[in-house]
């Protein structure tokens, strides 16, 4: 059997590895548009900050390691069309067209950055950030120009990670966000704390401003104008306002699209076209709590979906359990995380949502370096069901662990009250006999009992 996988990142490599793991005789060819297979683009900000010095080390696996698993990597092969009748995929490699037959095809073309409507967005010195090439190009620009200042457009997680990284590298860093608070994936009360942390580390955060035009001055610097009279001059700008699914290739096969224009794939990662699977940022994603497809472009999701596509391509019957939108990011010395629904999402979904916000010591206060963590917990008043949690705290405060406890509970449909029953670990340097997760659950139960 011949499996062709399009893409060389999280979803594609996971699919290829899983197929070969289950069926060592299957032939797996990967068409990779660029020269970087299996690089952790999630690690890009840490190369900019200097915490990762060698960009090559951002590879999850080296090319040799991937090939050792029996995957055939065809670099600089950009797939341009799929003939689902003939079961072939055509790619352009070195200017030449090449057609490959497949028995099963897996599409893992990922996402591309959204280019917002900003006049002059194509100017030299204005970058988007998604690929290793983008990273190297920005890095070279900073070095060649000895850049000292940068504007980040967009206060989502990539914009925040880049602001953190570039400020720590010594650049005068401005971050502009159109919404009233940064990090719209958490409720505004926590978004404010995130913005304050950036500011504490020298990032000039401006919210409620929409960047409108970018012009190149005679010295090559960028003059930026935005709403509410915003203006500044910087050496470069990085635009990070979200991604959209890369579906052009899939559409040549007549594959149906779904939520957010992403490829409609079922929980077995099958598309509407026979023998064509898809996974990762290019597809819509089953949401475990909402029980419907959503668009959740994350590396964690891409890995799982790719694995399922690979398994099913060789005759398996794996089913995607669903996403909860679990996410965590470092913001200077703090960490912000969330899982499930935040308050406004829960209300929009028709839940009788009750949210509490509390702050707790991350561990026993008599043990050195105790810090406050800020926790928001959302549950359904009517059923008592846990709906989501958000947490901001110091990077030593085990924020990801605590978010993961909530994620595991959500995965299993737990009520808020059941969080108190969990047998969680405790020693004074790490937690309290009741972990903050459980103290928040009890606070939520009290608020519910009070009729809040």
Residues designated catalytic: 42
DSSP codes, 199-237: HHTT-EEE-S--EEEEEE-TTS-EEEEEGGG-EEEESEE
Q: What is the CB neighbour count within 10 angstroms for residue 175? A: 28
Taking the complex as a whole, the smallest distance from the CB of residue 36 to ligand FAD amounts, in Å, to: 7
Token couple for 446: 């009290």
- Cα torsion at 18, 23, 25, 27 (round to 10°)? -40
Stretch near ligand FAD under the rule CB under 6 A, chosen from 34-42, 46-54, 284-292, 308-316: 34-42
Which single residue is written with the structure tokens 């990922």?
Answer: 110
* DSSP label at residue 377: E
Decide if residue 310 touches ligand FAD (CB under 6 A).
Answer: no
Q: Which of 5, 17, 32, 250 binds ligand FAD (CB under 6 A)?
A: 32
Taking the complex as a whole, the smallest distance from the CB of residue 132 to ligand FAD amounts, in Å, to: 9
Which 181-210 residues touch ligand FAD, going by CB under 6 A?
none
List of long-range contacts for 267-273, beta carbons under 8 Å, 24+ apart:
267/308, 267/319, 267/320, 267/322, 268/308, 268/312, 268/317, 268/318, 268/319, 268/320, 269/106, 269/305, 269/308, 269/309, 269/312, 269/320, 270/312, 271/107, 273/84
Those residues whose C-beta lies under 8 Å from the C-beta of residue 7, and which sit 6 or more positions away, are: 30, 31, 32, 33, 107, 108, 109, 110, 280
Q: Which of 4, 5, 17, 33 binds ligand FAD (CB under 6 A)?
A: 33
Taking the complex as a whole, the smallest distance from the CB of residue 207 to ligand FAD amounts, in Å, to: 21
d(CA 416, CA 414): 7
Taking the complex as a whole, the smallest distance from the CB of residue 336 to ligand FAD amounts, in Å, to: 12
Count Cα neighbours of 435 within 13 Å in the Cβ-side half-sphere: 20
| C-beta closer to ligand FAD: residue 91 or 414 | 91
Taking the complex as a whole, the smallest distance from the CB of residue 175 to ligand FAD amounts, in Å, to: 15
Taking the complex as a whole, the smallest distance from the CB of residue 135 to ligand FAD amounts, in Å, to: 8
d(CA 224, CA 119): 10
Stretch near ligand FAD under the rule CB under 6 A, chosen from 4-12, 55-63, 98-106, 286-294: 4-12
Q: Which of 3, 9, 263, 437 binds ligand FAD (CB under 6 A)?
A: 9
Q: Which of 4, 11, 166, 391 binds ligand FAD (CB under 6 A)?
A: 11
| C-beta closer to ligand FAD: residue 16 or 280 | 280
Which 87-116 residues touch ligand FAD, going by CB under 6 A?
108-111
| C-beta closer to ligand FAD: residue 281 or 445 | 281
Secondary structure (3-state) at 42: helix
Which 240-299 residues touch ligand FAD, going by CB under 6 A?
246, 249, 280-281, 297-299
Which 351-370 residues touch ligand FAD, going by CB under 6 A?
none
Best CA proximity match to 403, nearest among 345, 334, 327: 327
Q: Which of 17, 41, 171, 276 binds ligand FAD (CB under 6 A)?
A: 41
Residues interacting with ligand FAD, by CB under 6 A? 6-12, 31-34, 41-42, 44-45, 78-79, 108-111, 129-130, 158, 246, 249, 280-281, 297-300, 302
């Amino acid at each position: 059997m011949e499996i062709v996988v399009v893409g060389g990142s999280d979803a594609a490599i996971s699919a290829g590895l899983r197929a070969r793991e289950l069926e060592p005789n299957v032939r797996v060819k990967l068409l990779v548009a660029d020269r970087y297979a299996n690089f952790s683009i999630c690690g890009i900000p840490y190369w900019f900050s200097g915490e990762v010095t060698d960009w090559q080390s951002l590879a999850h696996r080296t090319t040799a390691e991937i090939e050792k698993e029996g995957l055939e990597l065809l670099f600089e092969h950009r797939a341009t069309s799929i003939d689902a009748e003939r079961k072939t995929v055509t790619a352009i490699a070195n200017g030449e067209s090449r057609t490959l037959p497949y028995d099963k095809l897996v599409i893992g073309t990922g996402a591309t950055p959204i280019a917002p409507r900003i006049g002059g967005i194509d100017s030299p010195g204005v970058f988007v950030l998604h690929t290793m090439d983008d990273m190297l190009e920005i890095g070279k620009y900073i070095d060649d120009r000895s850049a000292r200042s940068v504007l980040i457009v967009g206060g989502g997680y990539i914009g925040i990670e880049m602001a953190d990284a570039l400020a720590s590298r010594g650049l005068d860093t401005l971050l502009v966000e159109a919404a009233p608070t940064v990090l719209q994936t958490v409720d505004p009360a926590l978004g404010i704390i995130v913005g304050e942390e950036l500011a504490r580390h020298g990032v000039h955060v401006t919210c409620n401003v929409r960047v409108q035009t970018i012009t190149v001055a005679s010295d090559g610097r960028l003059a930026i104008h935005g709403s509410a009279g915003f203006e500044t001059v910087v050496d470069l700008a990085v635009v990070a306002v979200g991604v959209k699914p890369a579906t052009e290739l899939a559409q040549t096969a007549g594959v149906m699209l779904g939520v957010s224009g992403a490829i409609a794939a079922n929980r077995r990662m099958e598309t509407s076209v026979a023998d064509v699977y898809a996974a990762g940022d290019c597809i819509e994603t089953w949401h475990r709590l909402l029980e419907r497809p959503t668009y959740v472009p994350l590396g964690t999701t891409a890995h799982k979906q790719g694995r399922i596509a690979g398994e099913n391509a060789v005759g398996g019957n794996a089913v995607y359990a669903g996403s909860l939108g679990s996410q965590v990011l470092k913001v200077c010395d703090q960490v912000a995380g969330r899982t499930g629904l935040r308050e406004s999402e829960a209300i929009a979904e028709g839940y009788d949502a009750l949210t509490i916000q509390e702050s707790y010591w991350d561990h026993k206060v008599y043990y050195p370096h105790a810090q406050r963590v800020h926790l928001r917990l959302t549950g359904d008043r009517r059923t008592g069901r846990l709906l989501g949690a958000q947490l901001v705290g110091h990077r030593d405060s085990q924020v990801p662990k605590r978010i993961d406890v909530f994620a595991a509970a959500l995965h299993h449909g737990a009520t808020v009250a059941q969080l108190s029953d969990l047998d969680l670990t405790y020693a004074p340097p790490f937690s309290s006999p009741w972990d903050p997760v459980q103290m928040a659950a009890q606070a939520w139960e009290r608020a519910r009992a009070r009729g809040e």
